[in-house]
A and B are shown apart, each in its own frame.
Chain A
Amino acid sequence: MRRYLPAAAIAVLAFALPPLAAATKTAYLLTQLTMSAYYVLASLGLCALMGYAGQINMGQAGFFAIGGYASAFISKLNLASRAASPFVAALDFLGLVSRGTDSYGNAYLSPSPALACLCAILLAVGVAALIGTPVLRLRGHYLAMATLGFGIVIEKIARGTNALGGADGLSSVPAFALPGGLEITGGRAARSANFTISWVVLALGLLLLVNLIGSRSGRALRALHDGEEAADAMGVDTARYKLKVFVLGAAYAALAGVLLTHYNGSIGPGEAAFMKSVRYVAIVAVGGMANLTGVLVSGLVLNFLSLRGVFGSFDDAVFGAILIAVMLIGPAGRGLAARLRPRGASAAASSAAASAAPKRGGSP
């Protein structure tokens, strides 16, 4: 039961913080807390892959961007001129469209953000499965480079394609309507509600991963991390598990991308940049690699500080220095969170196994 504590805490804070912030007149902080929650979601997905399955993904930002861009593009498609076509009529019938007039007086008929979100996540999952299958056969630095290459390709495509807004990206992305009259949008009036929504999503995402880790699949994952050949010998289908976790991580990143894009109202090619992938990795490293709570806490803190401009012009340098510092600190890159909540036994065991594994040199 103890392992559900962090998710529960987040869920409670989701509802408790807004009135507290209002009372202390610090409600403006909710903006950065909301944005941080979505970025942490992407890091959580990466944590499952890096910490538990022991694989590296230097292109997580690419999946984030796929999610965000797909959702933005689809929900901005104006089908008003084709309202008569059977496809559009079917969507309308199913309630999957939104209509109205935008702030410049033009009538629009677009796929609803909910439909766009679904398509975006399916697209990200599809791409992850497609490239994951060949790429996950690689190890170590080959995998790092391959995923890095993937991230760069996504960024180039986003930056070079006029339909995706080119270097300026897509803006005026519509609000994401949720049941109950709520919507994911950046307006000041919806600030508290959006904070709650984002932290509830975060809590649910965390819950899902905690359950996964504790389940049979989770144990298989940890076996995989500790020694791939051994796990293979024990009958664990390592290739399938690696792919599943890779795809799951991609789905988390894509969902985060979708929700943040609708919250911000825009997305640009910068979201697919290499430095963003580095940040996701840095946060997983600081959090303790295989420590979901650590990633959660350090992610929220670091993203919050970064978004508030506390690091000033040295933002990138801070994350780079963090990477180095964390690697130097301890065997499993123990972060502060792990120090507070000792997971001593399992962390030491996995580090011992990792260091005992033969250095993989020329043969990938």
Chain B
Amino acid sequence: MRLGRIARIVIFCALAVSLLPSAFAAPKGDPIKIGAVFAVTGPAAYLGAPEDRTARMVVDEINKDGGILGRPVQLIVKDTGASSEKAISFAKQLIDEDNVVAIIGPTTSGESMAIKDICQKSGVPLISCASAETITTPIAKYVFKVAPKDNYVTEAIYKTMNKMGISKIGVLAANTGFGNGGKAQLEKYAQAYGITIAISEVYDANATDLTALLTKVNATGVQAIVNWSIEPAQAIVAKNMKQLKMTQQLFQSHGFANIKYVAAAGEAAEGIIFPCSRLVVADQLPDSNPQKKLLQKYNADYRAAYKEDASTFGGHAYDSLAIIKAAIESAKSADPAKIAAAIEGVKGLSGTAGIFGFSAQDHNGLQPDAIVMVTVKKGKFVLYEGK
């Protein structure tokens, strides 16, 4: 039977279409094992739980898109409950037993410092989601972090204060690694920006009422107060200030970057100014911004999957995985040593926290422009333009 030309074209197309599914086939081959050490429950769960959810979501998506180098990614998550000895035990498990090629997390600075040496000596890349300076200072070849440097955040606050004409401030910090780190940075850069810190106090992270402390601060005649903590203290400081009829401008740390915290503080959140990454104001960015699409997609996916708004902490997990993926693809290998070397070569990678560019001397990858100032208007996050 002689096939007409059209028939041959049709048969050819049909054959081609029938072969297509294999192009979208599930990734085959040895899985690439990535370990994750998060504080999903316990005192740091505000940070660790979003990180855990984000990591799973991202890995699912990577696998749907064909994996990395055609191989599926297997994420092994361990919940440390913010306990350092568990972090150590799990890190060793992941390295020695599961033979992971990289580890993301831990959630807190204490845990990160506990396993920094382990990962370095074992030669397994560690991308921490915590913010302490000591994680990348001094630099260890295998250890990286994706949270913005504390000094970018503090300098952003001070620049805003300069524009607002504020020169005398009070600093309150929770007695956590995060709080103490922020306080240290604020004290370090105050003089350079002409800011006087009239009072600087550390409070118990679980304090339920800070009216006595705020009364003490109020009596020193400061123009603004900077609070460095996470929940619940962030909301308590805001509410107590309003109850004490204090009118000073309240600045919070980048730990405030979750709309749930605004809801917790209710009306007291109005007018708070804080620095953070562009994630929470993604819709207000100009279309030309290179991060906008990525941020909007992350926000939408997270909300669809977990019925709550995304936060910048979950974003750290997103960035860690994106960096590992980029490194493996550029090294064309999932060997831990090659991954670590390749990460140092990652440049111009859009993440949730900013645009990442690593080098042998820079294991954080972010620049000061990764931070924007955000304020709360009518219960929503709004880019702070300065008034």
CB distance from B178 to the nearest CB of A (A): 8
Q: How far is the CA of A315 from the CA of B97 in the complex (A)?
A: 22
Known: A264-B88, A309-B86. A28 touches B110 (CB 8 A): no
Q: Interface readout for A129-168 with B: 1 if CB under 8 Å, 0 if not? A: 0000000000000000000000000000001101000111
CB distance from A348 to the nearest CB of B (A): 38
The answer, yes or no, to whether A188 is at the interface (CB within 8 Å) is yes
- A160 touches which one: B92, B140, B202 (CB < 8 A)? B202
Instruction: Using CB atoms, name the residue of chain B closest to A30.
Output: B96
The answer, yes or no, to whether B90 is at the interface (CB within 8 Å) is yes
Q: Are A169 and B114 in contact (CB under 8 A)?
A: yes
Q: Are B97 and A28 in contact (CB under 8 A)?
A: yes
Q: Are B122 and A171 in contact (CB under 8 A)?
A: no
Q: Interface readout for A93-137 with B: 1 if CB under 8 Å, 0 if not? A: 000000000011000000000000000000000000000000000
CB distance from A105 to the nearest CB of B (A): 9
Q: How far is the CA of A96 from the CA of B292 in the complex (A)?
A: 60
Q: How far is the CA of A159 from the CA of B109 in the complex (A)?
A: 13
Q: Are A169 and B84 in contact (CB under 8 A)?
A: yes
Name the A residues within 8 Å of B90 (CB-CB): 309
8 closest A-B pairs by CB: A28-B96, A167-B177, A171-B113, A168-B110, A268-B84, A313-B41, A168-B177, A266-B114
Q: Are A307 and B175 in contact (CB under 8 A)?
A: no
The interface stretch among B75-83, B241-249, B314-322 is B75-83
- Interface of A (DSSP majority class): helix
Q: How far is the CA of A31 from the CA of B40 in the complex (A)?
A: 23
The answer, yes or no, to whether A32 is at the interface (CB within 8 Å) is yes
User: Which residues 263-319 of A sit at the B interface, judged by CB distance below 8 A?
Assistant: 264-268, 270-271, 307-309, 312-313, 315-316
Q: Are B96 and A31 in contact (CB under 8 A)?
A: yes
Contacts between the two chains (Cβ within 8 Å), count: 98
Name the A residues within 8 Å of B79 (CB-CB): 309, 312-313
Q: Contacts A266-B113, A307-B86, A309-B90 given; 12 further ones with Cβ under 8 A? A: A27-B96, A31-B89, A35-B89, A103-B117, A160-B175, A169-B110, A264-B88, A265-B88, A265-B118, A266-B114, A313-B41, A316-B81
The answer, yes or no, to whether A186 is at the interface (CB within 8 Å) is yes
Name the A residues within 8 Å of B138 (CB-CB): 104
Q: Are A31 and B177 in contact (CB under 8 A)?
A: no
Instruction: Using CB atoms, name the residue of chain A closest to B115.
Output: A266
CB distance from B223 to the nearest CB of A (A): 28
Instruction: Using CB atoms, name the residue of chain A closest to B184.
Output: A162
Name the B residues within 8 Å of A186 (CB-CB): 88, 92, 117-118
The answer, yes or no, to whether B93 is at the interface (CB within 8 Å) is yes
The answer, yes or no, to whether B167 is at the interface (CB within 8 Å) is no
User: Which residues 95-147 of B sit at the A interface, judged by CB distance below 8 A?
Assistant: 96-97, 109-110, 113-114, 116-118, 120-122, 132, 134, 138, 140
The answer, yes or no, to whether B180 is at the interface (CB within 8 Å) is yes
CB distance from A203 to the nearest CB of B (A): 23
Known: A167-B177, A171-B113, A309-B90. A271 touches B85 (CB 8 A): yes
Q: Are A309 and B78 in contact (CB under 8 A)?
A: yes
- Interface of B (DSSP majority class): helix
Known: A104-B138, A167-B176, A188-B96. A270 touches B82 (CB 8 A): yes
Q: How far is the CA of A101 from the CA of B89 in the complex (A)?
A: 27
Name the A residues within 8 Å of B140 (CB-CB): 103
Name the B residues within 8 Å of A166 (CB-CB): 175, 177, 180
Q: Are B110 and A167 in contact (CB under 8 A)?
A: yes
Name the B residues within 8 Å of A270 (CB-CB): 82-85, 110
The answer, yes or no, to whether A172 is at the interface (CB within 8 Å) is yes
The answer, yes or no, to whether A187 is at the interface (CB within 8 Å) is yes
Name the B residues within 8 Å of A315 (CB-CB): 81
Q: How far is the CA of A113 from the CA of B90 in the complex (A)?
A: 26
Q: How far is the CA of A187 from the CA of B92 in the complex (A)?
A: 10
Name the A residues within 8 Å of B122 (CB-CB): 188
Q: How far is the CA of A187 from the CA of B96 in the complex (A)?
A: 11
User: Which residues 140-182 of B sit at the A interface, judged by CB distance below 8 A?
Assistant: 140, 175-180
CB distance from B162 to the nearest CB of A (A): 29
Instruction: Using CB atoms, name the residue of chain B closest to A104.
Output: B138
Known: A171-B113, A171-B117, A186-B118. A28 touches B92 (CB 8 A): yes
Q: Are A171 and B114 in contact (CB under 8 A)?
A: yes
Instruction: Using CB atoms, name the residue of chain A closest to B205.
Output: A167
Instruction: Using CB atoms, name the residue of chain A closest to B116.
Output: A171
Instruction: Using CB atoms, name the residue of chain B closest to A309.
Output: B78
Instruction: Using CB atoms, name the residue of chain A closest to B111.
Output: A268
Name the B residues within 8 Å of A188 (CB-CB): 96, 121-122
User: Which residues 11-46 of A sit at the B interface, judged by CB distance below 8 A?
Assistant: 27-28, 31-32, 35
CB distance from A195 to the nearest CB of B (A): 13
Q: Are A307 and B113 in contact (CB under 8 A)?
A: no
Q: How far is the CA of A20 from the CA of B98 in the complex (A)?
A: 20
CB distance from A253 to the nearest CB of B (A): 15
CB distance from A260 to the nearest CB of B (A): 8
CB distance from A27 to the nearest CB of B (A): 8
Q: How far is the CA of A159 from the CA of B84 in the complex (A)?
A: 14
Name the A residues within 8 Å of B202 (CB-CB): 160
Name the A residues within 8 Å of B113 (CB-CB): 168-169, 171, 266
Q: Are A35 and B85 in contact (CB under 8 A)?
A: yes
Cβ contacts A to B, 30 pairs, < 8 Å: A28-B96, A31-B89, A31-B93, A31-B96, A35-B89, A103-B140, A104-B138, A167-B177, A168-B110, A168-B177, A169-B84, A169-B110, A186-B117, A187-B121, A188-B96, A188-B122, A264-B114, A265-B88, A265-B118, A268-B114, A271-B84, A307-B86, A308-B89, A308-B93, A309-B89, A312-B79, A313-B40, A313-B79, A313-B81, A315-B81
Name the A residues within 8 Å of B41 (CB-CB): 313
Q: How far is the CA of A167 from the CA of B111 in the complex (A)?
A: 10
Instruction: Using CB atoms, name the residue of chain B closest to A29.
Output: B97
